[in-house]
Amino acid sequence: MAVENRYPFNLPAGTAVFHRSARPVRIRGQNSRAAIGWKHLAVFAVCFILLFLGVARLYYYLITCEALKIKNIEINASHPELKELVENFLQSHPPGNILLCNLDYLRANLISLPGVKEARVEKVLPSTLRIEVTPRIPKVYVHRGLYFLVDEEGKVLRSEVDPANSEFPVVEDEDYFNQAYEEKVRTACQLLSELEPEMRKTISRIVFKPNRKMEIELAGDPVRLIIDGQNFREKLLYYLENRDSWARLLGPLEYVDLRIEGRVYVKPLELNAGDTRGEKKEVS
């Protein structure tokens, strides 16, 4: 039987001819990795324990290091009283180590202080704490047994027995603020925000009545103004411009109802039982 050999008889010098090795070929299996013995596991466990002990010692050093204890507290507040309030709180609740100081928890405690609206807290390594405090702006007194000075959100800043000669008006509610307390305070503050500072000083009392009715009392004026909160500034100006002429025409007034646009109802003060001027009248 003839066998065909495709290699030429005369090969160039230096040409390598493929020859299969005479040694048997070792077949490598997929599971030829070296097995992990108990010595390897022991070394791994010792290394892990040493690493854990090192991290623990480092953590203990950091939380007890005197260099990382908060020593400087910088407080930025617009009012000295507010700055003193924050300082007194931090003296009774020292923040301790700067790494362990929880800024969210500290901020929540600062906001809970009366007069603090917002607080921004920042760590400055290695031992400084910066605090920026935004104050609550007093707006009105809320009368609920005592007189509570509050801001536009109804948050109490302080309480007084009798705020005599105060620049802030008093807000009352015939329902004693059992419902919609914050909404009523915001409504009163919104009415006052529509007025210029000089006109705002003339408002002494705002009383909430049922059916969204409000009564306004002016300083030095016994007449009660009945409004519903719409176009308050324009209605107040209209009353101030005409109250003297109404008084000359009708005598002393008990109240003026300004709730209906384009109409004004006035009620003269009842001087005696037989006086007919006590009837409610419409004026233009």
Q: Are 123 and 89 in contact (CB under 8 A)?
A: no
Residue 228, Cα to own-chain centre: how many angstroms? 30
pLDDT (average), residues 182-189: 94
Is the pTM value of this prediction over 0.95? no
Please give the pLDDT value at position 165: 67
Please give the pLDDT value at position 278: 54
Lowest mean per-residue pLDDT among 97-106, 160-169, 196-205? 160-169
Every domain of the chain and the residues it spans: 68-135, 140-283
pLDDT (average), residues 243-269: 90
**pLDDT at 50 exceeding the cut of 90:** no
pLDDT (average), residues 228-251: 91
**pLDDT at 178 exceeding the cut of 60:** yes
Q: Are 106 and 73 in contact (CB under 8 A)?
A: no
CA distances from 58 to 63, 66, 69, 127, 284 (A): 9, 14, 16, 18, 84
Return the CATH number of the domain spanning residue range 140-283. Answer: 3.40.50.11690
- Of 67, 71, 60, 65, the residue nearest 95 (C-alpha): 71
Answer whether CATH 3.30.365.10 is correct for domain 68-135: no
Please give the pLDDT value at position 215: 95
Please give the pLDDT value at position 145: 87
pLDDT (average), residues 195-216: 92
Give the tens place of pLDDT for each residue, 80-130. 889 999 999 999 988 888 888 889 999 999 999 989 999 999 999 888 999
